[in-house]
Amino acid sequence: MDKGSLESGLTWEVRANSRQYHNHKQKKSVLCFHWGRYADNVIRSNKYSPLTFLPLTLFEQFQRVANLYFLLMMVLQCVPAISAIPWYITIIPLLIVLSVRGAKDLANDMARRRSDAEINSRPCDVLISKSFSKGQWRDVRVGDVLRIHKDQIIPADLLILCSSEPHSLCYVETADIDGETNLKFRQALGATHNELTSHPSEEMLAAFDGVALCEEPNNRLYTFRGQLHWRGECFLLENEHILLRGTVLRNTEFAYGLAIYTGADTKIMRNCGKLRVKRTQMERVFNRVVMGIVLSVLLTALLLAIGAGVFSSWVMSHTGPLSPLVVNGNPVYTGFLIFWSYIILLSPAMPIALYISFEVIHTVHSLFIGWDREMYWQPADRPAQARNTSLNEELGQVGYLLSDKTGTLTQNRLLFRQCCIAGEIYGDATVQAEDIEPMDLSWNPFSCGGLFMSAPDLLEKLRGQQCPLSRQFFKALSLCHTVMAEWKEEAPVYQAASPDEEALVGAARELGWVFLSRTRDFIDVSELGVPRQYQLLALVDFTSKRRRMSVLVREPEGGLKLYCKGADIVILERLHKDCPYQERMERALELFAQACLRTLCVAVRSVPEALWEQWSKTLAQSAAMATAERDALLEKLYDQMEMELQLIGVTAIEDRLQEGVPETIALLQQAGLKVWVLTGDKKETAVNIGYSCKLLDPETRLLEWQELRQILQSPDPGVSFFKARQMELWAVDKQPAGAKTAVVLTGPELAEFDQRPEWGATFMSLAEQCQSVLCCRVTPGQKADIVTLVRKHTRSVTMSIGDGANDVNMIKTAHVGVGLAGVEGGQAVQNADYALSQFRFLQRLLLVHGHWSYRRISFFLLYFLFKTCGFALVHIWFGFFNGYSGQSLYEPWFIALYTVFYTAFPIMCVAFFEQDVNADSSLKWPELYKSGQRQELSSPLMLSLSLLYAIYTSLVLFFIPLGVFYDTAYDQQVMAVTVALAATLTATIEIVLMTRYWTKFNLAAVCVSVVLFFICSKITNSTILFQKSPIDYYFIGASDKAFIDPLIWLTALLTTWMAVLPSVTALALNVILTMHDKHKVHSVSRQPVELRSKFTRGASHRRSSYALSQGSGPGRLITSASRIPSTVPTVDEKVTEEGEHSVTGGVYISPIGDIRSHG
Amino acid sequence: MVKQELANRPDNTAFTQQRLPAWQPMLSAGIIIPGFVLIGLAFIGIGVALFVTSRSIQVLEIDYTGVETSHPCFTCSDPDVKKCVCQLDFTIDSLFKGPVFFYYGLNNYFQNYRKYGASKDDDQLSGDLSNFKSPSDTCSPYEYDSNNNDKPIAPCGSIANSMFNDTFKLYQKVNGSKKLVPFDGKGIAWWTDYNVKYRNPDVSPLKNAFNGTVKPLFWPKPAYELDPSDPANNGFINQDFLVWMRRAALPDFRKLYRRITEGDYRLGLPAGDYNLEIAYNYPVLSFDGRKKVVFSNVSWMGGKNEFLGIAYLVIGSMCVFMSLVMLIVYAKFKFPEED
């Protein structure tokens, strides 16, 4: 048997109730050594342990070139022979940088530990020595038998042994795993069910000694293979026997399960991806620049060292070893020492303070995000939160937004908003659901709110017994469904496979037709307080091919009625020939579709007793037939049953989008972002949400897998794609080809990309021209794969947004991950870089905070490079005039204070407060955001320009004073003060030119910096300090002497003006040349306002609603209403295709239908 | 109660909401082009002032290295000749307005060489007697005299060792006789150097402080005998020593030697023939150096400096020129149809 299982790949052996066996093989690890097989059920997302923190954090930090470089500098400066400047000039900033960063990492890690501990200590019941005892998740081991209560989260992947429900069914909610909100059922094996439920279960369970053989842990959520060997028999295990960690047990009193995979081995954890340290693109570019600077410094130092060697050999040959210049030893050795001296001397060109400033700026930007009242969600008292404080500038560069659907775009709330009964429309969808005046339903003891429709006239008709059709309509709603009622505190609570049904049954309840309970054969309903029992003769369930469902009931009075509800095109073609009100109903359908409501038609048919007898015979007949044959027969029978219907009404349900979703998406699209939807949900739902949130236009052509595949396989995908689009244009519209195509993919189709890695690039190049891409039925792992695909094939910044555990992986994988703090567990937020409460806050996060952050940080970077290089490179030019001796042109204190005191504050103020336009304008002109996507301010070109400018500045800073001081009696210290003055003034003027938003802080910072320069020069050149330490403060009196000399001031003035002249000129030309562009921007940017007003106008094209859980009219402009006939057929085609697909997917298995087939 | 519920609500301040009142300068061509013109004109103005001032300064520069054989100092330029004196004759055509500053200048002399500059003992120079006995090793190789029982050198180090030791006497030839022009050597060093940075030890007489030390190798006489005429002007606070110890910025430099402010020459050097007597001691030819003397008077901007004036003129005109270019560009962009 074992051999067989090895061959089939079932190598994961789990023995029930034998901890001893599994403990033995427990997974353990010390440092980097791991052994054992079975992981424990403890989540560890922390990076450090007390022992590894220091080495790990140092290791991480010294991976940064600059930190390592500065460590080296410090060591070098301790060698007197080469120490051009004292060592303490370097160590202080380095220590600060290291400790601040380390403290931040530690704090983050502690937060992760805390949240892990919270999860690991959740309670659960574990069977230990014949009785269940309260335990924690961390105690669960492979092979343990667990008892899960209703509404508990399942702690590990379990094999169901039995449950409290008939046939050991369990209902689970998988929203946290795949985003679907309908209940799924799972079932125990018949064998375990029969054996384990017949006796007091605890004893039986304790004695259970089955051995499960299954696959090694993997990340495939929808498949499971295994065998259970018990009592000499072998049972096959499948996905339906497994409860996954992270799902929630619903509707089931309790279930018993055997832990198969625990902790890191569970399917959801395997889907979670690795914790990775995110670094921004700009930081990466910047690291490259730093590398470049290091290399150039090394090269320059080498050249200068060669110069030094030549010079010293020249001095040696002319004056001998005892020259005044003290050149001792051989020239090569001198050159060697000078090399290191120059590396030290040029090291200020390496902007080490930049890293610490970076941290500070990022932190402040993150605080601003948290402080923003516009992103504060009052109902939950939750402000936005930047959990990762080092990604802010990426927010201004996002090119791809990959969004989850359920809970992110939609609220996951379905509201019964309108209905049309007998041609009469009730309710008003133009009023916001929250603003509707609730009707007085106090007469109804079962009413518990949740109806967002105001129709007093309908109520009057219903209660006044005037309108039989409307009564029948609600009777139909209360009978024709697969909802189950559960009694809680004297009121029924409905559990539905689809939220739409729940909304419909709930609406019927509010209006007096209360579905009370169901048994196999009867449905109990209270009609306006009168209890009635209907006998359920047949229930023909929904499939996505049929797109309708029916019930055949015997009324208490004796008549037979068939109630049917379904998609309009399905129902309309099955109507009785001369159905009254049909025209008015169809108009109602159009109206509802305009308002983006999901519609369903409700119809009825009176069935004569004789006909039913005939049908029931056929049904009995079919029970004995083979499956395929039976299915064909039943299909035909159902077709006959659902004929000659009489249309009684249309329902309209609103799938509530999160507030402001369509506006946000439109705004983001204008800002040049590509918005993709990745969802675990069904394709139909995803497409409909795509329409209702304006991600897709009604005229958008959907490109599906078959077609896409052909395009990808064709030799020239670009051309084929263009053709495919052209055809569409020919048929429908003359609009520019632009972004009117969208790709719809499903998970299994995406899996093909694994085999064809070459498709990735092609696909991305196509997708770039598409309006959007929708990926449905994708696993969390696939979501992450899509993010990876985008990251790999474009240079854009990706952002993922989601709210559930199934989004964690993609949130971690994207450059920036945003978690919505929604109803579902905080998993997404825990792992996200930014936590928001509402999808619409994204526009502010990106367009305002992101845009500002990007500009601020770009300016900061450019300026920092300029100011450090500009002042440090002077030493190269000075080298030519001092025999390449490594002499510093500046006072060492100036070098230390320049970066910290004289130039840091103004640029920090710019990095904190700079705004090119204010928040409102940023939102008004989303086009401004594109500069970040194009990296206009942070491109390598800009960085190189900044460096070139720095080189120019250093030349000016040295050569103009050189010209003035050449062959004069001015000494070196006065020249040092002059150059320092000019350098400080240049840096200051440069920042003054850069600042566009002068707050009082900016002004103060600029003034303080300049004043500090004079004060600090005065202090370090003072007599008192000199007397304390003559070696450190040997510039005594230099600045006093220099500042009273008009020539020094004139020199500094000339040097400064010359140094800033290029940027002043550039600024001036920019102002002169862009005057007209600005006008253009302003006139163009009125567009978005108009666009937004279009939303309120709504759409007028009626679109077939999908049955049951789907169905929504896409938006369409009033003008295109005339095109109904031309597009309906194509819709039809599409729907059929989708239907086929869904059938194979096997999503719509109604629990009740299943029970019936069992019984 | 409501307040408690909204504990996390961010403060509504201008700072947290990033609505700080701010001035956003709106630049336009109307500001920028006149601005450029104004700055350009200002620079031209300064340039003219500097240029004119610089022109008015009289400078007389005489190279006395003695490279050419015909030069009176040629014989002295041989390093083997000791105690050589050479005479230089020159004529001043018109009155050289006073006060006249008398400089010596050196070319191709790297006083800014790092190791040369570091080679001194600041503690010793500020009068610390313990550093007379054991100078700091920064002075190496001029720390101890190996030819003299390894006695410590005071003042130690390269800079002190290489002190310029040519001396000058200026005579005016009046009716065939030579009239000594009096030099004023007081206060030619920085105040801080003289009063703070350099100190003689508190030992009297000064000579005793230097017991057990030797003079720098290149020096003809010890530090306490630098100025025999003025006992106060000796040791580490000798003016010439202080001037030399203040390192030049660039390889071509001048250092102030004396001022001519006294007696008949208070108003300057009258026209006439002069004779400069040079005690030629300092060797520069070995490193291709040059020595010169410079007579110059000064203005508010110090000595003659044509570079600065010209640079101001050039940059000022550049600004004006650029403003013209901008004006043309602006006109082209503003009225594109008319072109």
Which regions of A164-269 does DSSP assign to beta strands (E)? 169-173, 183-187, 211-214, 226-230, 233-237, 242-243, 248-250, 254-261
Per-run averaged pLDDT (10 residues), chain B, 339 residues = 67 91 87 93 96 93 90 86 88 90 92 88 88 87 84 90 92 90 91 91 88 89 90 91 93 94 88 93 86 92 91 96 91 65
Cα distance between residue B258 and residue B104, in whole Å: 9
Instruction: Please check the confidence at residue A1089 and state whether its pLDDT lies above 50.
Output: no
Distance CA A794, CA A816 (A): 15
Higher-pLDDT residue of A728 and A381 is A381
- Region A767-778: what's the mean pLDDT? 86
| Cβ within 8 Å, pair B112-A913 | no
Q: Which ranges constitute the DSSP H helices of chain B?
A: 2-5, 29-56, 114-118, 122-125, 130-133, 158-161, 191-192, 206-209, 239-245, 306-334
Q: Do A998 and B22 touch (CB under 8 A)?
A: yes
Closest-CA residue to A509 (of A488, A494, A487, A522):
A494
Q: How far apart are the C-alpha atoms of A684 and A1139, rounded to whole Å?
A: 9
How does DSSP classify residue A844?
A: I
Q: Write the DSSP string, A568-597.
A: HHHHHTTB-TT-TTHHHHHHHHHHHHHTT-
In contact, A1021 and A1092? CB cutoff 8 Å: no
Distance between CA atoms of residues B87 and B61, nearest Å? 15
Q: What is the pLDDT of residues A1099-1142, one digit of tens each?
A: 333 343 333 333 222 222 222 232 222 222 333 333 333 333 33
- Lowest mean pLDDT segment, chosen from A317-326, A527-536, A648-657, B222-231: A317-326
Residue A373: its H or E element: none
Q: Please report the pLDDT score of residue A491 as a whole number.
A: 78
Looking at residue A782, its pLDDT comes to 87
- Choose the closest CB to A373 out of B10, B46, B114: B10
How high is the pLDDT of residue B145? 86
Residue A350 has pLDDT above 90, yes or no: no
Is the pLDDT score of A1149 beyond 50? no
Residue A276 pLDDT: 65
DSSP secondary structure string, A277-328?
----HHHHHHHHHHHHHHHHHHHHHHHHHHHHHHHHHHHHHHH-TT-TT---
Q: What is the pLDDT of residues A393-436, one digit of tens each?
A: 899 999 999 998 878 888 877 888 889 998 888 888 777 777 78
Instruction: Answer whether A1087's CB lies under 8 Å from A925's CB.
Output: no
pLDDT at A607 over 80: yes
Enter the pTM of the model.
0.80
pLDDT tops 80 at residue A214: yes
Give residue B55's identity as a one-letter amino acid code: R
Range with lowest mean pLDDT among A374-378, A824-828, B100-104, B107-111: A824-828
What's the pLDDT tens digit per position in A1004-1016? 999 999 999 999 9
Instruction: Write out the DSSP string of B160-226.
Output: HHT----EEEEEEEETTEEEEPPPB-TT-S-HHIIIII----S-SSHHHHTTT-B--TT-SS-GGGS
Q: Scanning every residue of chain A, which has its alpha carbon at the shortest distance from the alpha carbon of B11?
A: A371
pLDDT at A945 over 80: yes
pLDDT of residue B296: 93
First to last CA, chain B: 71
Q: Which residue has the tokens 């270019």?
A: B325
pLDDT at A319: 67
Q: Whole-angstrom Cα distance, residue A281 to residue A971?
A: 47
pLDDT of amino acid A1138: 34
Check whether A696 has a pLDDT greater than 60: yes
**Higher pLDDT, residue A190 or A960:** A960
**Higher-confidence residue: A723 or A653?**
A653
- Retrieve residue B337's tokens: 């149809």
Maximum mean pLDDT: which of A157-166, A341-350, A863-872, A972-981? A972-981
Lowest mean pLDDT segment, chosen from A133-137, A354-358, A657-661, B226-230 = A354-358
| Chain A residues with CB-CB distance to B21 below 8 A | 999-1000
Say if B14 is an interface residue toward chain A (CB within 8 Å): no
Residues in chain A within 8 Å Cβ distance of B251: 881-883
For residue A32, what pLDDT is reported?
Answer: 58
Please choose, from the candidates A334, A339, A349, A348, the residue with its C-alpha nearest in 3D space to the C-alpha of residue A300.
Answer: A339
Question: Across-strand partners of A229?
Answer: A211, A234
Query: A1016 and A995 in contact (C-beta within 8 Å)?
Result: no
At A826, is the secondary structure helix, strand, or coil?
Answer: coil
Q: Which of residues 62-121 of B touch A (CB under 8 A)?
A: 103, 105, 107, 110-117, 119
pLDDT band at A1081 (very low <50, low <70, confident <90, very high): very low
Question: Which residues of B are less than 8 Å from A964 in CB distance?
Answer: 305, 307-308
Residue A68 pLDDT exceeds 60? yes
Q: Which of A370, A371, A1047 sits opposite B305 (nearest CB)?
A: A1047
Dihedral sign computed on CA atoms, order A554, A559, A562, A563: negative
CA angle A230, A232, A233 (to 5 degrees): 70
Q: What is the spatial distance between Cα A263 and Cα A116, in angstroms, rounded to a whole number?
A: 12
Which residues 122-151 on chain B approach chain A with CB closer than 8 angstroms? Answer: 122-123, 126, 140-142
B177 Cα to chain A: minimum distance (Å): 33
Q: Please say if the pLDDT value at position A965 is more than 90.
A: yes
Q: Which long-range contacts (CB under 8 A, 24 or more apart) does A913-917 make?
A: A913/A997, A913/A999, A913/A1001, A913/A1002, A913/B18, A913/B20, A913/B22, A914/A852, A914/A855, A914/A856, A914/A859, A914/A995, A914/A996, A914/A997, A915/A852, A915/A996, A915/A997, A915/B18, A915/B22, A916/A855, A916/A996, A916/A997
What is the rounded average pLDDT for all residues in chain A?
81
Query: With 80 as the cut, is the pLDDT of residue A739 above it?
Result: no
Chain B within 8 Å of A1057 (Cβ-Cβ)? yes
Show which residues of A are catalytic.
404
Q: Distance (Å, rounded) from C-alpha A341 to C-alpha A345?
A: 6
**Residue B214, beta-bridge partner list:** B153
pLDDT at residue B80 in the model: 82
Rounded mean pLDDT of A245-272? Answer: 85
The whole-angstrom distance between residue A729's C-alpha and the CA centroid of its chain comes to 33
Say yes or no to pLDDT of A181 above 80. no
Q: Which amino acid is at B200?
A: N
- Window from A256-260, A377-381, A785-789 with minimum mean pLDDT: A377-381
Q: Do A1075 and B29 touch (CB under 8 A)?
A: yes
Listed in sequence order, the residues at least 6 apart from A184 whose beta carbon sits closer than 8 Å to its beta carbon are: A171, A172, A173, A174
Q: How many CB pairs under 8 A join A and B?
A: 233
Range with the poorest average pLDDT among A28-37, A968-977, B106-115:
A28-37
Angstrom distance (rounded) from CA B304 to CA A144: 97
Element (H, E) at A103: helix A88-120
- B25 in contact with A at a CB cutoff of 8 Å? yes
Q: Is B309 an 8 Å CB contact of chain A?
A: no
* Predicted local confidence at residue A208, as pLDDT: 85
Supply the pLDDT for residue A486.
74
- A196-205, A803-812, A1018-1027, A1048-1057: which range is least confident on average? A196-205
Provide the pLDDT for residue A564: 93
Contacts of A917 (CB under 8 A, 6+ apart): A925, A928
Determine how β-strand A424-426 pairs with β-strand A484-488.
unpaired
pLDDT grade, residue A680 (50/70/90)? confident
DSSP of A775-787, one letter per residue?
Answer: EES--HHHHHHHH
Name A614's Cβ contacts closer than 8 Å, sequence gap at least 6: none
Using an 8 Å Cβ cutoff, are A1053 and B224 in contact? no
Tokens of A878: 């000075």
Give the model's pLDDT for residue A478. Answer: 92
Q: For A161-174, what is the mean pLDDT?
A: 82
Task: Give whole-number Cα distances, A700 to A57, A146, A1041, B338, in Å.
Answer: 51, 51, 76, 45
C-beta atoms of A881 and B23 within 8 A: no
Which site among A326, A845, A909, A1027 would you substitute to test the B interface, given the most B Cβ atoms closer than 10 Å to its Cβ? A326
Q: Is A1036 on the interface with B (CB under 8 A)?
A: yes
CB A167 within 8 A of CB A193: yes
How high is the pLDDT of residue A1050? 95
- If one counts every other C-beta atom within 10 angstroms of the C-beta of residue B8, the result is 14
The answer to whether the Cβ–Cβ distance between A328 and B141 falls below 8 Å is yes
Check residue A1130 and give its pLDDT.
31
* pLDDT score, position A325: 64
Say how far apart CA B267 and CA A492 lie, in whole Å.
118
Separation in Å, CA of B276 to nearest CA in chain A: 21
A1124 burial level (CB within 10 Å; 0-12, 13-18, 19+): middle
Note the Cα A464 to chain centre separation in Å: 52
The pLDDT value given to residue A798: 93
Does A842 or A8 have the greater pLDDT score?
Answer: A842
